Structure 1
Amino acid sequence: MSTTQLNVVLADDDEDDRMLFVEAIDEISIKTELSLFNHGQELMDYLTLPNALMPNLIFLDLNMPIKNGLQCLKEIRENPKLKDLCVAIYSTSSSEKDIEETFLNGANIYVNKPHSFSKLRDVVEKVLQLNWQYHTSNLNKDTFLFRI
């Protein structure tokens, strides 16, 4: 991995989940600039600003008020300026319906929120280390659901 900094975004309405994510990012060795959004509408408002710094990766919670993760994903994929962004669905849901729907709507990877901090740190680090160009060019249902 290069020494350049990754620009990562997390959109999640759960304050505890956001704080744990920040702690996980702080503990890993990958240089990361993290931006936090409380819900999907906040994220979309930011991404559509004319001078917004585009993230290398978006972690997107599915179940959020105002605009949920699936609505954001669809808007991102329909917007010519945003359609090539890497999107990791980051959710407590392990429902086949949610996994299938996000896969069909163009998410790059689906990550279940881990139940322990050490697993969260490991998941975040592994997802950030993925070679996204390679990963997305070989995207299939088997590589879509990320398990640790």
Structure 2
Amino acid sequence: LALGALAAAAGPADDVPVRSRGQLLAELLAVPEAQALRLGSRGRALGLPVDNWHLTLRVEPAALAGTERYRLLEAAGPVALRLLRSSSTVTWNAARVDEALILTRSQPTDPGRDGMRATLADAGRLLVVLRERNPDADLRCGVG
């Protein structure tokens, strides 16, 4: 019974590769360069666009803490990926880092200013959807 509860809490089995890729990408973005170089081969093996250009969204529910914050971030990840992937030809991955949802946009060439404009538009659309679902969370989003 305990094993079944643990398995259910972990989420669907087909979600494991998505979580692994997202978590590794978040690690790659946060660690020193020497460590990132070592993690790069793991990322490539998982199909991560390690060598691409990246733009990142950081979504945080400013009004929530603890379990409520965790639950919102856990639920928002799949919603965000579906929305972002549905209207884009670039690759999107998600991870939770420092009590925030990190969404990373990757493409093979330098997106330049058009890429930043597209990412800002994506962030706006995403916030509209997430705020409709979570009106009391005071959701905020940074782009970088």
Q: TM-score under structure 1 normalisation?
A: 0.34
Q: Hey, which of these two has a bigger chunk of helix by percent?
A: 2
| Structure number, greater radius of gyration | 2
Higher RCO (C-alpha 8 Å, min separation 6): 2
